[in-house]
Structure 1
Amino acid sequence: MRKKYRKDYGSLTIFIACAMIILQRVLNSAITIPAYSINPGRFYLYSFLQATVVIGTNLIPLYLGYHYKKIAQLKVYHYLSRFSFIYILSALVANIFFYVQSNVLNLRDYWLLFTPISQNYLTYAVSCILLFISIPYVIRFLEKQPSPTIKRFLLFSTLLLVGSSTLFNKDPFALQNGNNIIWIFYLFLFGYGLKKWKWDEKIRFKIPQAFIALLFLVGTILFMVQISLIVRGNADTATRFITPHSLFTMYYTVTSFLSFELISEKLKLKASGTFLATLLIVTQIVCNWSLVTYRVSVFMKREFPNSGRAWLLNLGQFFGYYLLAVSLLCIVLFYLQKIRFVQRLIEFFAFDSLDELAAKCHGVKNWIVSHKSYFFVALFFYLFTFTQIFLLEQRETWKQSIKIALEIFTQRQAPMVLTVLIIMGFFFLLLLLANRFWYAFTATLIINLLLTISTILKMEMREEPVFPSDLKMLAGLSELMSMVSPIVFIAGGLVLIFLTFTSVIMQRRLQKKYSVNVHWKRRIIGILLLSFCFSGVFFINQKNSPSFILFNLFRVNKTFLDQKSAVKDNGPIIQFLNNIDIQIMEKPEGYSEEAINEIMERYNTRAQEINHTRNEWLANQTIILNLSESFSDPDRVPNLTVHNDPIPFVKSKLAEETSGLMLSVGYGGGTANMEWEGLTGLSISNLSASLVTPYTQLVERQDISPNITNLFDEKIAIHPFTAALYRRRQVFDKFGFDQFYYVDGPDELAYTDTIGRNPYISDESAYKDTLRVLKSNLESSQFIQLTTMQNHMPYDDYYDELNYTAEGTAVIASRYSELQTFMQGLHYTDEAVKEFIQEIDKIEKPITFVFYGDHLPSLYSGNDSRRYGLEQRQTDYFIYSNKYSREQSNQLFKEVVSPNNFAPMALEQANIKVTPYYALLTDVANQLPALTIDPTQSVSNRFNGEQVFVTEEKQMIHLQDLHKEQQQLFTDYQLIQYDLVAGEQYSASWAEQGIQDYQK
Structure 2
Amino acid sequence: MHLNLEPRSHRISNSKKSKKMRLTNPGAIIASLFFLACLPIVSVIGIEYLERGSLHDTIHWLMSYKRLFLLNVGLSFCLLLFIQAIVGSLAISGAISTLLLGLMALISYMKVKMIGEPFFPWDILLNKESMDIASLVTGKAAMIRIVSIIVVIAVVFLLRWVLPRWKMPIVMRVAMGLFALYALYAFSVKTPMAGKVLDRAGVNEIVWDQQQNYTNNGLALAFTLNVKNSIVQKPDTYSDHAIATVAANLQQSNQQEAKLASNGLINGKKPNVIFIMSEAFWDPTLLTNVKFSEDPLPTIHQLQKESTSGYLLSPQFGGGTSNVEFEVLTGDSMSFLPGGSIPYQQYVNKPVPSLASYFADQGYKSMGIHSYEGWFWDRNTVYKQLGFESFKSSEYFENPEVKGYFISDAEVSRNIIKEVDNTDNPMFIYTVTMQNHGPYDDPRYGKNNFEATGPLSAQAKSILETYTQGAHDADQSLKMLIDHYQNSDEPTMIVFYGDHLPMLGLDYQVYKEAGFIQSSNPNEWTLDEVKKMHSIPLVTWSNFDMPKQQIPLLSDSFLGAHVLDMLHMEKPANFALDAQLANQVPGLLSNLVVDSNQELHAKVPDASKALVDDYRNVQYDMLFGKQYMAEYLDHDYLTKTAQASYNAEFGGDGTEAKRAGESESTPEAKPVSAQ
Shorter-chain TM-score tier: 0.5 to 0.7
Question: After superposition, what is the alpha-carbon deviation per residue over 1:29-69, rounded to whole angstroms, capped at 9, x for unaligned?
Answer: xxxxxxxxxxxxxxxxxxxxxxxxxxxxxxxxxxxxxxxxx
1:693 matched residue in structure 2: 342
Aligned counterpart in structure 2 of residue 846 of structure 1, from 491, 495, 500:
491
Q: Distance in 1 between matches of 2:263 and 2:185?
A: 58
Equivalent residue letter for 2:605: D
Task: Find out whether 1:673 has 2:334 as its counterpart.
Answer: no
Cα deviation for residue 797 of structure 1 reads: 1.7
Q: Distance in 2 between matches of 1:961 and 1:385?
A: 43
SS of residue in 2 equivalent to 1:582? helix
2:274 matched residue in structure 1: 624
Q: Distance in 2 between matches of 1:417 and 1:987?
A: 56
Cα deviation for residue 719 of structure 1 reads: 0.3
Aligned counterpart in structure 2 of residue 107 of structure 1, from 43, 46, 50:
50
**CA 1:705/1:839 → structure 2, altered by over 3 Å: closer, same or farther?**
same
**CA 1:551/1:639 → structure 2, altered by over 3 Å: closer, same or farther?**
farther
Task: Find out whether 1:734 has 2:378 as its counterpart.
Answer: no
Q: Distance in 1 between matches of 2:639 and 2:615?
A: 23
2:647 matched residue in structure 1: none
**CA 1:412/1:781 → structure 2, altered by over 3 Å: closer, same or farther?**
farther
**CA 1:603/1:959 → structure 2, altered by over 3 Å: closer, same or farther?**
farther
2:371 matched residue in structure 1: 720
Question: After superposition, what is the alpha-carbon deviation per residue over 1:642-671, rounded to whole angstroms, capped at 9, x for unaligned?
Answer: 453200111110121111111111211111
Equivalent residue letter for 1:895: P
Q: Distance in 1 between matches of 2:604 and 2:48?
A: 33
Equivalent residue letter for 1:977: Q
1:798 matched residue in structure 2: 444
Q: Distance in 2 between matches of 1:820 and 1:761?
A: 20
1:593 matched residue in structure 2: 240
Q: Distance in 1 between matches of 2:242 and 2:168?
A: 55
Question: After superposition, what is the alpha-carbon deviation per residue over 1:691-748, rounded to whole angstroms, capped at 9, x for unaligned?
Answer: 5211112212xx441111122232110000122332111211211212111122xxx1
Aligned counterpart in structure 2 of residue 933 of structure 1, from 572, 585, 590:
590
**CA 1:385/1:687 → structure 2, altered by over 3 Å: closer, same or farther?**
closer
Are 1:625 and 1:784, in contact at CA under 8 Å, matched by a contact in 2?
yes
Cα deviation for residue 764 of structure 1 reads: 0.7
Are 2:352 and 2:638, in contact at CA under 8 Å, matched by a contact in 1?
no
Are 1:712 and 1:781, in contact at CA under 8 Å, matched by a contact in 2?
no
Equivalent residue letter for 2:593: F
Q: Distance in 1 between matches of 2:502 and 2:565?
A: 31
Aligned counterpart in structure 2 of residue 602 of structure 1, from 226, 243, 249:
249
Q: Distance in 2 between matches of 1:783 and 1:992?
A: 22
1:479-490 superposed matches below 5 A: none
1:956-967 superposed matches below 5 A: 956-957=600-601, 961=605, 963=607, 966-967=608-609
Are 1:627 and 1:854, in contact at CA under 8 Å, matched by a contact in 2?
yes
Cα deviation for residue 994 of structure 1 reads: 4.5
Task: Find out whether 1:437 has 2:169 as its counterpart.
Answer: yes
Q: Distance in 2 between matches of 1:664 and 1:541?
A: 20
Are 1:848 and 1:910, in contact at CA under 8 Å, matched by a contact in 2?
no
Q: Distance in 1 between matches of 2:189 and 2:436?
A: 38
SS of residue in 2 equivalent to 1:107? helix
Equivalent residue letter for 1:775: D
Aligned counterpart in structure 1 of residue 472 of structure 2, from 814, 823, 827:
827
1:748-759 superposed matches below 5 A: 748-750=396-398, 752-755=400-403, 758-759=404-405
Cα deviation for residue 108 of structure 1 reads: 6.3
Task: Find out whether 1:637 has 2:369 as its counterpart.
Answer: no
Q: Distance in 1 between matches of 2:462 and 2:143?
A: 31
Q: Distance in 1 between matches of 2:322 and 2:426?
A: 25
Cα deviation for residue 384 of structure 1 reads: 11
Q: Distance in 2 between matches of 1:906 and 1:547?
A: 36
SS of residue in 1 equivalent to 2:579? helix
Task: Find out whether 1:646 has 2:296 as its counterpart.
Answer: yes
Question: After superposition, what is the alpha-carbon deviation per residue over 1:182-214, rounded to whole angstroms, capped at 9, x for unaligned?
Answer: xxxxxxxxxxxxxxxxxxxxxxxxxxxxxxxxx
SS of residue in 2 equivalent to 1:785? strand
Are 2:357 and 2:388, in contact at CA under 8 Å, matched by a contact in 1?
no
1:950 matched residue in structure 2: 594
Are 2:313 and 2:553, in contact at CA under 8 Å, matched by a contact in 1?
yes
SS of residue in 1 equivalent to 2:228? coil
Cα deviation for residue 878 of structure 1 reads: 1.4
Q: Distance in 2 between matches of 1:917 and 1:555?
A: 37
Q: Distance in 1 between matches of 2:284 and 2:436?
A: 13
Equivalent residue letter for 2:540: I
SS of residue in 2 equivalent to 1:983? coil
1:783 matched residue in structure 2: 428
Are 1:586 and 1:688, in contact at CA under 8 Å, matched by a contact in 2?
no
Task: Find out whether 1:535 has 2:186 as its counterpart.
Answer: yes
Cα deviation for residue 787 of structure 1 reads: 0.4
1:350 matched residue in structure 2: none
Higher relative contact order (CA 8 A, sep 6+): 2
Cα deviation for residue 995 of structure 1 reads: 11
Cα deviation for residue 899 of structure 1 reads: 0.9
Aligned counterpart in structure 1 of residue 565 of structure 2, from 892, 895, 908:
908
SS of residue in 2 equivalent to 1:923? helix
Larger Rg: 1
1:189-228 superposed matches below 5 A: none
Q: Distance in 1 between matches of 2:150 and 2:183?
A: 21
Are 1:705 and 1:988, in contact at CA under 8 Å, matched by a contact in 2?
no
Equivalent residue letter for 1:378: S
- Under a length normalisation based on structure 1, what TM-score does the superposition of the two structures give? 0.43
Q: Distance in 2 between matches of 1:393 and 1:959?
A: 34
Equivalent residue letter for 1:896: L
Cα deviation for residue 373 of structure 1 reads: 6.6
Equivalent residue letter for 1:588: P
2:460 matched residue in structure 1: 815
Question: After superposition, what is the alpha-carbon deviation per residue over 1:528-560, rounded to whole angstroms, capped at 9, x for unaligned?
Answer: 78744553333799567999569975899x9xx
1:454 matched residue in structure 2: none
**CA 1:551/1:959 → structure 2, altered by over 3 Å: closer, same or farther?**
closer
Cα deviation for residue 411 of structure 1 reads: 3.9
Aligned counterpart in structure 2 of residue 984 of structure 1, from 597, 609, 626:
626
Are 1:632 and 1:875, in contact at CA under 8 Å, matched by a contact in 2?
yes
Q: Distance in 1 between matches of 2:324 and 2:414?
A: 23
2:412 matched residue in structure 1: 766
Are 1:895 and 1:952, in contact at CA under 8 Å, matched by a contact in 2?
no
SS of residue in 2 equivalent to 1:856? coil
Q: Distance in 1 between matches of 2:219 and 2:606?
A: 39
Are 2:353 and 2:387, in contact at CA under 8 Å, matched by a contact in 1?
no
1:218-257 superposed matches below 5 A: none
Q: Distance in 1 between matches of 2:147 and 2:228?
A: 23
2:162 matched residue in structure 1: none
1:699-710 superposed matches below 5 A: 699-700=348-349, 703-710=350-357
**CA 1:105/1:812 → structure 2, altered by over 3 Å: closer, same or farther?**
farther
**CA 1:802/1:706 → structure 2, altered by over 3 Å: closer, same or farther?**
same
Q: Distance in 2 between matches of 1:706 and 1:412?
A: 48
SS of residue in 2 equivalent to 1:661? strand
Aligned counterpart in structure 2 of residue 683 of structure 1, from 312, 326, 333:
333
Are 1:959 and 1:967, in contact at CA under 8 Å, matched by a contact in 2?
no
SS of residue in 2 equivalent to 1:875? strand
Task: Find out whether 1:582 has 2:229 as its counterpart.
Answer: yes
Cα deviation for residue 777 of structure 1 reads: 2.0
Aligned residues: 491
**CA 1:834/1:739 → structure 2, altered by over 3 Å: closer, same or farther?**
same
- Under a length normalisation based on structure 2, what TM-score does the superposition of the two structures give? 0.63
Aligned counterpart in structure 1 of residue 262 of structure 2, from 606, 612, 615:
615
Cα deviation for residue 782 of structure 1 reads: 2.4
2:134 matched residue in structure 1: none
1:711 matched residue in structure 2: 358
Q: Distance in 2 between matches of 1:633 and 1:953?
A: 24
1:329-478 superposed matches below 5 A: 374-376=89-91, 378=93, 411=146, 437-438=169-170
1:872 matched residue in structure 2: 533
Question: After superposition, what is the alpha-carbon deviation per residue over 1:356-404, rounded to whole angstroms, capped at 9, x for unaligned?
Answer: xxxxxxxxxxxxxxxx974255268579989x99xx999xxxxxxxxxx
Q: Distance in 2 between matches of 1:630 and 1:845?
A: 30
